[in-house]
Structure formats: structure tokens, C-alpha cells
Amino acid sequence: MRVELISVGTELLLGDIVNTNTAYLSKELAALGLGVFRQTTVGDNRERLLKTLESAFLENDTVIITGGLGPTDDDITKECAAEYFGRDFYFHEYSWVKILERLTRSGRNVITDNNKKQAMIPEGAIVLENFCGTAPGIIIEENNKRIILMPGPPREMRDMFEKGVKPYLEKYSKKKFISKYVRFYGIGESLLETKIKDIMDRQTNPTLALYAKTGEVLLRITASSENKIECEEMINRQLEEIERREGVGEYIYLVGDENISSSQTELNTVVANLLIENNYTISIAESLTGGEIVSMLVEKSGISDSLLEGIVCYSNRSKITTLGVKEETSLEFGAVSEEVACEMALGVAKRLNSDFAVATTGIAGPNSDESGKPVGLVYIAVYAQGEVTVKECLFVGDRDLIRFRASVEALDEVRKNILRKL
């Protein structure tokens, strides 16, 4: 495979933006054993970009273009690629749904018609989802030629390359590639990157890539070799170094193959397995999470013997009558308090004499309660074979995100308490 990199954007020619994309892609392609034979920068000019494409395909079979996938008239990359291959456009519904979701989350109240341009896809193209922005990536294949289009912003481009383009290109490499995924909870992406920066700076083989998920961080370790066993040995050595690193290893909760990489969280599966394998039982009392913790656990088949009951006790009356929370506790400290969370956990554990219990109470928003406590304040109480611990959290986000973060945090607290008892 012969590759040419084309960067699109007049701002690059003017020096307004430093082009870091080509350096990144050249390094990544070299690690795949794929050679870059030329790098070209073109302004936002349709005629010049088409001529550049024609020239590129005279000598290369693969062209990778970054930039020019935005919603404005001067974003011409997709149109030029479609014209070169003689493809018409169609409206890609899934991409449009994802674009709307991202624009809405970012606070955009007005969606203009030109945003739909990013959901127009050349016929027969492979669509690459953009997890960090709005412009989907595109791959067009024809007569042993292929063009790969990715967004220009480096964060979007790198994420798309790692998740979509790299797996696509690996099939053209003579090397074998093996990846292992490590899931972290309780440490942010930036802090984790700081703690293993020296490892990442010297990475060549295996390579490391960090992905931020909602409340979690995913690390991918990829090794390449003509020998599968050698790949696995390199990955294991790298993983051992990371696990030994102070302030890092304790946040790892799961290591596995690509099957653990796509879901929002795997904590539910990990906790369910710990309960089942050790014949432990658990009861759950949920206020602000509204049954979400139970819902996560029942995704795991075989949990019925361990999960004794789940109670949604949203009102103060329910907490008092169903769980035995003292009325004076609620009046003195408020429904959202460490004291109420503790009594909720004790109460739900006592009902069926479960080994473990978890209880949540908090303020999911969008407004605070009469106490004036901040939106996002959550108390998570875990009962573990006679002992109760309570954790105070303050989550940021909309109502759904706060509830999700609280549910995952609760699962992690259960996980840690089970491990302490083993």
C-alpha cells in the first residue's frame, strides 16, 4: 500500500494553525508498516483539491485527507472526493441523529440547515462515527483505490483514526496486531495520562491510546509483530509496568479484549460476577437513581440468586415506611444526607438479611431541593457484612448524566467493598 496524506485548509497555508495531523498519521502508519510517500497541503479551493487528488492517485493507491468536512460552503473535501469517484450523495439518518445529539449537548438551541450537510454521505461509502465532534468520517473504495476522509481538529481526527481507520488499515499490513483493553474507574483521563506520560512518550511497540468514557477511562495497548505470542508477551510486560505504577494500578477494574471496549461501563458485569462467584447476596435502595443500578445488574444473566431485591424509594415517606429511616433523621439532616443514606442501606439489608446493600440519595436536578444543597450532590452508602460506609460525591452534568454517574459510582463502591471482604 502506498499512501499520500493531504491536509485541507487555507488556514494551514497561512500558518494560522500548526499542522500536527500529518506527523501523527505518519508515525501511526509507519507502525502499521504502511509507507507515506508524500504529504500535501491544499487550501479550500475545489479545483486545486481535485487536481491534487488526480495527482495523488497516479502514484498511490490510498489517500488520507484531513480537514474540510465542516458544514460551511468552503468545506469542500467530501464533495471533491465524491466527484472524483463519481458518487452521488444520500442523507445518512444515523449520522444526523448523532449530530443533533452532540449539538444539543453543547447547548446549541438553534440548528441550521447547513448542519445537515455533514450528514450527506457519498453512495457506497463506509461511514466512520465521530465520537468527539459532528463530522463523520468517510471511506470510499473503488478499483483497488481508497480515499479516507477525517475531520481536521486533531482530537477528532486522532480518536477517529484509533477507533475506525486504524482497524480498517490493519488488514492491509503484513504484521499481526493484538490489542488488550484496560478499563479504569475513579481516575480522570488527564490525571492518568500525567501518571503514565513517560511510558506513552517512549511508546513505539506496543503503542498506547487513551479514551475518555463517561466517568471512566479506557486504555488500549496494541502490539505488532509477525508472531502472535510475541505480541502477547509485549502487551503483558507493558501492562505489568502500568499496574505497578503508584496511583494507577488501584484504579484498574477490568482487563480484556475488544469486547470490553465499546460499552459505557463494564462495572455492572464485574460486580455481578463477584457476587455470583462468591455466593454473595445484595439488596439495593435507590432514590435519585430510580432503579438504574438494579437495571445495570440484571443485564447479567444468573444474577437472580444474588440480587435479592431492589427498591425505588423516591419520597421521604417511602424511605421511612419501607426502609425504616427514622423520621427525625430525615427532618434533622434532610433526605439528601450521609445519615439518611446510611439508614437506607441498613434498612434494605435488614429486610432480607443480604450480605451487601447499596443505597443512593441525592439531587439530580435541574433544580435544587428546599434545603439549597447543590445539584449533583449524591450520597452513596454501602452495607458490607455488618459495616456501613458512606461516600459523598458532587457530579456535574444534566439530570440523566448525574443519575448515570451516581449509579456507576455506586457499583464501584460495591465492587471495592466486596474485594475488601474476600
Q: How confident is the model at residue 372 (pLDDT cuts 50, 70, 90)?
A: confident
Same domain, 146 and 213: no
Same domain, 208 and 138: no
Same domain, 17 and 62: yes
Same domain, 164 and 281: no
Whether the per-residue pLDDT at 417 is higher than 80: the answer is yes
**Cβ contacts of 139-145, under 8 Å, gap ≥ 24:** 139/165, 139/168, 140/81, 140/82, 140/85, 140/87, 142/85, 144/61, 145/57, 145/61, 145/62
Strand runs labelled E in 43-198: 62-66, 89-91, 120-122, 126-128, 137-142, 145-150, 176-185
Whether the per-residue pLDDT at 261 is higher than 80: the answer is no
Q: How confident is the model at residue 420 (pLDDT cuts 50, 70, 90)?
A: very high
Q: In the structure grid, which three cell numbers stand for residue 198, read together?
A: 513517560
The CATH number that applies at residue 385 is 3.90.950.20
Q: Which of 197, 228, 260 is the last residue in one of the domains?
A: 260
Q: How confident is the model at residue 377 (pLDDT cuts 50, 70, 90)?
A: very high
Q: Which domain holds residue 310?
A: 267-421
Whether the per-residue pLDDT at 257 is higher than 90: the answer is no
Give residue for cell 502472535: 228
Residue-wise pLDDT tens digits, 98-133: 999 888 887 777 778 888 999 999 999 999 999 999
The CATH number that applies at residue 163 is 3.40.980.10
Same domain, 198 and 273: no
What's the predicted TM-score (pTM) here?
Answer: 0.65
Residue 344, Ramachandran bin (φ over 0: left; ψ between -120 and 50: alpha; else beta): alpha
Distance, in Å, from the CA atom of 117 to the CA atom of 52, rounded to the nearest integer, reads: 23
**pLDDT at res. 34:** 83
Whether the per-residue pLDDT at 370 is higher than 90: the answer is no
Mean pLDDT value of segment 15-36: 87
Same domain, 40 and 188: no
Q: In the structure grid, which three cell numbers stand for residue 142, read together?
A: 473503488
**pLDDT at res. 228:** 85
Same domain, 163 and 192: no
> CB-based contacts of 305: which residues, under 8 Å, 6+ apart?
276, 281
Lowest mean pLDDT among 78-82, 210-214, 242-246, 391-395: 210-214
Residue-wise pLDDT tens digits, 50-87: 999 999 999 999 999 999 999 988 899 999 999 999 99
Helix (H) / strand (E) containing 310? strand 307-312
Same domain, 307 and 194: no
Share of the chain above pLDDT 90, in %: 79
Same domain, 237 and 276: no
Q: Which of 236, 260, 284 is the last residue in one of the domains?
A: 260
> CB-based contacts of 60: which residues, under 8 Å, 6+ apart?
2, 3, 4, 37, 38
Between the alpha carbon of residue 264 and those of residues 52, 134, 401, the distances in Å are 41, 20, 12
Whether the per-residue pLDDT at 10 is higher than 90: the answer is yes
Mean pLDDT value of segment 281-287: 98
Are 7 and 29 contacting, i.e. CB atoms less than 8 angstroms apart? no
Nearest Cα neighbor of 255 from 244, 240, 276 is: 240
Distance, in Å, from the CA atom of 348 to the CA atom of 324, rounded to the nearest integer, reads: 8
Residue-wise pLDDT tens digits, 140-188: 999 999 999 999 999 999 999 999 999 999 888 777 778 899 999 999 9
Between the alpha carbon of residue 232 and those of residues 29, 45, 83, 249, the distances in Å are 21, 47, 44, 20
Q: Which of 170, 197, 220 is the last residue in one of the domains?
A: 170
The angle that helices 77-85 and 46-59 make with each other, rounded to 10 degrees, is: 50
Q: In the structure grid, which three cell numbers stand for residue 61, read together?
A: 493507491
The whole-chain average pLDDT of the chain stands at 93
Mean pLDDT value of segment 31-60: 92
Are 415 and 421 contacting, i.e. CB atoms less than 8 angstroms apart? no
**pLDDT at res. 333:** 96
Give residue for cell 491536509: 7
**pLDDT at res. 310:** 98
